[in-house]
């Protein structure tokens, strides 16, 4: 505290300067550096978490979209739905084709003209040349593996794999289009 001396009656004298009585405001340099370092670590961790979350969301959404096409084909087969494309005289429904090309995935009915021999009775199959790649926004690719056996051998199935740099979404497709639950996991 302050040292106060009484010199005469009614007068007091205080020392001219007291180091402990000075009010210092603001932060020291080390305090500021610690706060900045902690903030940088928190922001960096949050950014990495967001990027990882966003990639998982993107790959999962694309995977569910493609899987949805297979489920729709399966539903149409079970409902014995004959598309307009196959209503011409003599045409027969061959199956449903999930095509991956350019920047989209689509479901099409495949018909045989003139009542030709149906090789695949209401099969769901994928039309592709070797490995079909479909680039979406970002770095997600459609990689189709094993579904050529669905096209070539009735009674066989395959696995659809959609990959990004660090994640893979996969699901199995049976010979009759029965589609398993999708699985999103790290590579």
Residue 112 neighbours by CB distance under 10 Å = 17
b/e code 58-87 from CB counts within 10 Å (16+ = b): bbeebbeebbebbbbbbebbeeeeeeeebe
pLDDT of residue 151: 46
Q: Per-residue DSSP letters for the chain?
A: ----EEEETTEEE--S--GGG----S--HHHHHHHHHHHHHHHHHHHHHHHHHHHHHHHHHHHHHHHHHHHHHHHHHHTT---GGG-STT-EEEEEEEEEETTEEEEEEEEEGGG---SSTTEEEEE-SSS---B-SSS-EEEEESTHHHHHSTT--EEEEEE-SSEEEEEEE-TT--BPPPEEEE-
Q: Which are the contacts of 170, defined by CB distance < 8 A and separation ≥ 6?
A: 63, 159, 160, 161, 162, 182, 183, 185
Q: Say whether pLDDT at 9 is over 70.
A: no
Domain extents in the chain:
33-80+127-186
Q: Tell me if 107 sits within 8 A of 73, measured CB to CB.
A: yes
Note the pLDDT of residue 129. 41
pLDDT greater than 70 at residue 146: no
- Per residue in 81-124, pLDDT tens? 777 777 776 677 777 777 765 456 777 777 766 554 444 445 55
On the question of pLDDT at 136 being above 50, the answer is no
pLDDT at position 154 over 60: no
Is residue 173's pLDDT more than 90?
Answer: no
The mean pLDDT value for 126-136 works out to: 43
Q: Which residue has the higher pLDDT, 172 or 1?
A: 172
Question: Quick one: pLDDT at residue 59?
Answer: 80
Whether the CB-CB separation of 129 and 151 falls below 8 Å is answered with: no
pLDDT of the residue at 156: 60
- In the block, which residue shows the tokens 């039309």? 127
Write down the pLDDT at residue 104.
65
Report the pLDDT value the prediction gives residue 83, as an integer from 0 to 100: 79
pLDDT at 158: 74
Residue 58: its pLDDT value, please?
A: 81
**Averaged pLDDT, 155-184:** 78
pLDDT digits (tens, 9 = 90+) for 18-59: 555 556 677 889 999 999 999 999 999 888 888 788 888 888
CB 84 within 8 A of CB 95: no
As a whole number, the mean pLDDT across the chain is: 69
User: Do the Cβ atoms of 93 and 82 come closer than 8 Å?
Assistant: yes
pLDDT at 32: 92
Tokens of 97: 């084709």
């Amino acid at each position: 505290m302050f040292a106060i001396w009484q010199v005469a009656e009614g007068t007091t004298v205080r020392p001219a300067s007291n180091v402990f009585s000075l009010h210092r405001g603001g932060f020291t340099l080390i305090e500021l550096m610690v706060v900045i370092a902690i903030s940088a670590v928190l922001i960096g961790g949050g950014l990495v978490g967001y990027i990882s979350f966003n990639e998982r969301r993107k790959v999962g959404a694309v995977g569910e979209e493609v899987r949805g096409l297979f489920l729709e084909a399966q539903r149409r087969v079970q409902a014995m739905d004959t598309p307009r494309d196959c209503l011409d005289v003599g045409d027969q429904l061959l199956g449903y084709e999930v095509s991956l090309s350019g920047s989209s995935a689509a479901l099409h009915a495949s018909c045989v003209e003139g009542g030709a021999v149906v090789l695949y009775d209401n099969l769901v199959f994928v039309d592709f040349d070797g490995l079909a790649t479909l680039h979406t926004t970002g770095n997600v690719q459609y990689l189709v593996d094993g579904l050529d056996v669905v096209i070539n051998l009735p009674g066989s199935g395959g696995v659809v794999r959609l990959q990004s740099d660090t994640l893979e979404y996969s699901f199995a497709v049976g010979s009759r289009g029965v589609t398993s639950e999708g699985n999103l996991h790290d590579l």
